[in-house]
Amino acid sequence: MQIEYHALDGASLGMTRYVTALHFGSEDSERKIYIQTSLHADELPGALVAYHLRPMLEQLEQEGRLKAHVVLVPLCNPIGLAQTLMYDPSGRFDLFTGRNFNRLTDFDLYGRTLARLRENPEQLGKDAATNVQRIRQTMRTVIEDYQPQTQVDTLQHILVGLAFDADVVLDLHCDEYAVMHCYTLPQLWPTVEPLARLLRSECQIVSEDSGSKAFDEFLSTPWLRLAREFPQANIPCACCSTTVELRGQMDLEHKLAHSDAQAMVQYLAHLGDVSLQTDALQALPELIRKPHPLAGVQYVNAPSAGVVVFVVQAGDTVVRGQVMAQVIDPIHQISTDVRSPIDGFVFACHHVRYAQQGATLVSVSGEQDLGLGESLGP
């Protein structure tokens, strides 16, 4: 294992933060796997998974069973880790710029890559492997030329530089109170499905482009767009990325984390990136729930301010009109029901117990595109 430290200079005089990347296997391997945790720095189950995954990868490397170059970046957001307001960790948004750490809105990797490829479109032909190599080299140049303007820019620049040329990217997050679930592109689902099965993911949400520029989409959607921009060329989607939501923020247990780490090793084995003995390779379990479109997700908000009493919990199935929570106004002795707008599956409940009007309370996933557009929320 090799350890790299990537500096985030310039936050303040006398201060330097570092992103720590752990490299396993040979950098000359044909394939690369990238795994990061806690980009939203207060989402810590992934960090505990990394704690259990590291010795597994070290052992595989020592035994010569690691066939890919694996990069593991635990606690990838040192900016967010340092943010606390009145004893309350605040790791989703940068307190200086207000930006969501998982929204890469200020860096147009696709647009800049496209502009450079248009200068010589004949370089892309019928050979997929050659096209992937040339596109990645163009992306590398774009990334190297990018000039970050803020600490968030610098952080995202470092992480994209570590991940852009990976064949598989796992971005480990969690929700507030939630079941295991994952997000990916519909085109990538066949590759992600074994992971969902092994992790026992209860909800799979697919979207080609939510418009949010979340880390996983930022790395995968350029390949789909380039394939459409250059139809004469054979351009595969060379980066299979997914956001894995490791249940809820309070689900920090060694037993869960160890099981999740084992599932990820099994996933790499199913992809051919890890060589396991035949009796150590698990058969894929049944898929718990087929993918739902992101456009079928409803974030149900509080209709008024008050004390929140949840009637359902993450993992429940609901029907349209079913009461999911009550908002209590004890001053005026009013109880307001919060009902599900769709038939669906409750994959997350939010931690708020006193809600302002409009606060999100419950996340429900439905099978049907509701025709309301796609959104990942703030």
Higher pLDDT, 349 or 87: 349
Share of the chain above pLDDT 70, in %: 98
- CA separation, residue 240 to residues 8, 31, 111, 219, 273 (Å): 27, 12, 20, 8, 14
Q: Which amino acid is at 202?
A: E
User: Would you list the DSSP string of 215-256?
Assistant: HHHHHHHHHHHHHHH-TTS------EEEEEEEEETT---HHH
Residue carrying structure tokens 């170059």: 69
Q: What number is the average pLDDT over the span 272-287?
A: 93
Number of neighbouring beta carbons within 10 Å of residue 249: 18
Q: What is the pLDDT of residue 374?
A: 58
- For 117, residues 6+ apart whose C-beta sits below 8 A from its C-beta are 123, 124, 135, 138, 226, 229, 230
Q: Which amino acid is at 29?
A: S
Write down which residue in 273, 290, 307 finishes a domain: 290
Partner residues linked to 316 by β-bridges: none
Same domain, 88 and 66: yes
- For 176, residues 6+ apart whose C-beta sits below 8 A from its C-beta are 248, 249, 348, 349, 350, 351
Same domain, 154 and 17: yes
pLDDT digits 0-9 by tens, 91-137: 999 999 999 999 999 999 999 999 999 999 999 999 999 999 999 99
186 falls within a domain? yes
- For 55, residues 6+ apart whose C-beta sits below 8 A from its C-beta are none
Write down which residue in 236, 270, 290 finishes a domain: 290
User: Would you list the DSSP string of 30-83?
Assistant: S-EEEEEE-SSTT--HHHHHHHHHHHHHHHHHHTT-B-SEEEEESS--HHHHT-
Domain total of the chain: 2
Residue 373 has pLDDT above 80, yes or no: no
Q: What is the CATH number of the domain that holds 348?
A: 2.40.50.100
Same domain, 308 and 254: no
373 falls within a domain? no
Mean pLDDT, rounded, of the chain:
95
Q: Which amino acid is at 181?
A: H
262 DSSP 8-state letter: H
Q: What's the CA angle centered on 191, arms 185 and 193, to 5 degrees?
A: 85
User: Rg for the chain (alpha carbons), in Å?
Assistant: 21
Q: What is the CATH number of the domain that holds 198?
A: 3.40.630.10
Write down which residue in 290, 320, 345 finishes a domain: 290
Domain residue limits at 246:
2-290
**What distance in Å separates the CA atoms of residue 340 and residue 363, rounded to the nearest whole number?**
10
Question: Angle, nearest 10°, between helix axes 189-199 and 254-271?
Answer: 140
pLDDT digits 0-9 by tens, 207-249: 988 878 999 999 999 999 999 999 999 999 999 999 999 999 9
- For 163, residues 6+ apart whose C-beta sits below 8 A from its C-beta are 34, 36, 71, 169, 215, 219
